[in-house]
Amino acid sequence: MVKFNSLKAMALAASFFTGILAASAVEIRGLTEPYMDVMLGLPDAGIIRTLFSKEGDLVQKGRVILELDNRLEALEVVRRQAIMEQNKRVYESTSNLLEHTKSVSREELSKAEAEYKVSSAERDIARQQLENRQLMAPFTGSISEILLKPGAGCAPYQSLVHFVDTSRAFFTGYIEGAQAAKLTKDEPVQVVLDTGQTVAATIWFISPTVDASSGLVKVKALFDNADLKIRPGLSAKLVVQDK
């Protein structure tokens, strides 16, 4: 809410000067933000055992960031695997007997098959429970903050890691409704940061509604930041050339 209000305040202040802007361009004040910005947690409670990365590290999608104590879950996978393999042998043996000697009934085969399939599903559940003890990167990004360290306990879905993708970034600002009508999605624009850096961007989102309290429309532009030279969070302005 604070962020939203500050952006609206900048936009309202800027609106007083729209009449003296050069006729060739429209400027929108706002802030930059990461393309993806999430707080990561796990579905299970537990004690954090191992950190595989540190703050500031770039982590590839699917790599493990941290792991809860999982010794019981690992043993359960071994137990369920053994049961499944035994039931598979019984099922295959029963199937072979029915086919070649007819010494067992089809009901016995059906029972053996069902027990094998149930134990296979239980093995898969145990594997999933083991995997739930690992916090994996949902996309390639950087660790902005680690909130708990090894030895600390965590609750289900508690925030453990602040994870961001800054290889691309958004500019987010607000513009008067009449001015927003002049913008089009995918239109090329420029983002000028308060640091003096200028980057090419495209209009990514124009809100279909006007905020009733301010009369402003939310606008987002997407720009490339593969070299990571821009740290999202900086104030900036969006420059749209008048058509």
How far apart are alpha carbons 207 and 13 in whole angstroms?
Answer: 20
Q: Which amino acid is at 64?
A: V
Mean of per-residue pLDDT scores for the chain? 90
pLDDT at 115: 97
Exposure class string for 200-234: b at 16+ Cβ within 10 A, else e: ebebbebeeebeeebebbbbbbbbebeeeebebeb
- Token pair recorded at residue 139: 């996309």
- Token pair recorded at residue 128: 């999933």
Phi, psi of 225 (to 5 degrees): -140, 40
Q: 1: pLDDT confidence band, cut at 50, 70 and 90?
A: low
pTM for the model: 0.80
Tell me, rounded to whole angstroms, the distance of Cα 146 from its chain centroid: 16
pLDDT digits (tens, 9 = 90+) for 81-112: 999 999 999 999 999 998 888 888 999 999 99
How far apart are alpha carbons 117 and 123 in whole angstroms?
Answer: 10
CATH number of 72-132: 1.10.287
Assess whether the region 2-35+166-241 and the region 72-132 belong to the same CATH fold. Answer: no
* Sequence ranges of the domains in the chain: 2-35+166-241, 72-132
* CATH tag for 2-35+166-241 (out of 1.10.287.610, 2.120.10.30, 2.40.30.170, 2.60.40.10): 2.40.30.170
Residue 21 has pLDDT above 60, yes or no: no
Residue 16 has pLDDT above 50, yes or no: no
Q: 156: pLDDT confidence band, cut at 50, 70 and 90?
A: very high
Lowest mean pLDDT, pick from 11-15, 80-84, 115-119: 11-15
